[in-house]
Amino acid sequence: MTTSRTKPATTPDRKQKDRVKPIRTKPDRIDIELAAPACVQGQPVRHQSLWILLRLWLAAQSGDGSGWVRETQLREQFANARNLRMVISRAYADFARWGLRVGWGTDRSRDPDLLPLAGRNRGPYWLGEGEAARLQISLHGAPAGLDAVIAWLGTPDATRTAVVLGDASSASPAYWHAWAGARRDMLDGRLILDRDHGALAGYRRAQTLAPDPWLQALALLQQAMVWRRAGNADAARAVLAELDRHWHDEQAPEHAWLGAMAAIVQAWCAYAGRDPQAARQILRQATEDPRWFGLFQYHPRVRSEHANLQALIHRALALDERSDLGERTEAARTALRYYRLALSLANEAELFDAAASTASNLGWSLWLFQRCGLDVPSDDGHPLTWIALAAWLSERHGVGGGCWNLIYLLRMVRGGGSDAAHPRADVFRRWPVIAPAEFRALIAPVTLSIEWPSWRALALAMQADIDAGRVQLDALQRANILLEVAWYEAHDGDPQRSTEAAARLRRRLRELTPADRIFFRDALRRLPEVIG
Q: Where among 101, 133, 165 does a domain terminate?
A: 165
Which residue, 126, 119, 74, is CA-closest to 103? Answer: 126
Q: What is the pTM of this model?
A: 0.70
Query: In 3-state terms, what secondary structure has residue 40?
Result: strand
Output 496-502 pairs: Cβ under 8 A, ≥24 positions apart. 498/527, 498/531, 499/530, 499/531, 501/463, 502/527, 502/531, 502/532
CB 349 within 8 A of CB 373: no
Asked if residue 216 belongs to a domain, the reply is no
Q: Residue 43 forms beta bridges with which residues?
A: 40
Per cent of the chain over pLDDT 70 is 89
CB 459 within 8 A of CB 481: yes
Q: Find the angle CA(433)-CA(435)-CA(440) to the nearest 5 degrees.
A: 135
- Number of domains the chain contains: 2
Asked if residue 344 belongs to a domain, the reply is no
Q: Where among 126, 145, 165 does a domain terminate?
A: 165
Omega before 211 within 30 of 0, i.e. cis: no
Question: Does 330 or 381 have the greater pLDDT score?
Answer: 330
pLDDT tens figures, 499-524: 999 999 999 999 998 989 999 999 99
Cβ-based neighbours of 446, under 8 Å, separated by 6 or more: 385, 388, 389, 392
Q: CA 88 to CA 117: how far, in whole Å?
A: 12
Asked if residue 396 belongs to a domain, the reply is no
How far CA 477 is from CA of 315, 340, 490, in Å, comes to 19, 24, 20
Query: In 3-state terms, what secondary structure has residue 212?
Result: coil
Asked if residue 448 belongs to a domain, the reply is yes
Range of the domain at 421: 402-532
Q: Where among 126, 141, 165 does a domain terminate?
A: 165
Asked if residue 84 belongs to a domain, the reply is yes
| Least-confidence region, from 20-24, 53-57, 335-339 | 20-24
pLDDT over threshold 60, residue 316: yes
Question: Does 268 or 36 have the greater pLDDT score?
Answer: 268
Burial of residue 157 (CB within 10 Å: 0-12, 13-18, 19+) is exposed
Asked if residue 501 belongs to a domain, the reply is yes
How far CA 44 is from CA of 40, 50, 136, 212, 502, in Å, comes to 7, 10, 16, 40, 86
Omega before 124 within 30 of 0, i.e. cis: yes
* β pairing state of 125-127 and 135-139: unpaired
Q: CA 217 to CA 441: how far, in whole Å?
A: 47
Asked if residue 373 belongs to a domain, the reply is no
Q: Mean pLDDT throughout 361-388?
A: 91
Asked if residue 186 belongs to a domain, the reply is no
Q: What's the pLDDT score for residue 237?
A: 94
Q: CA 212 to CA 218: how far, in whole Å?
A: 10
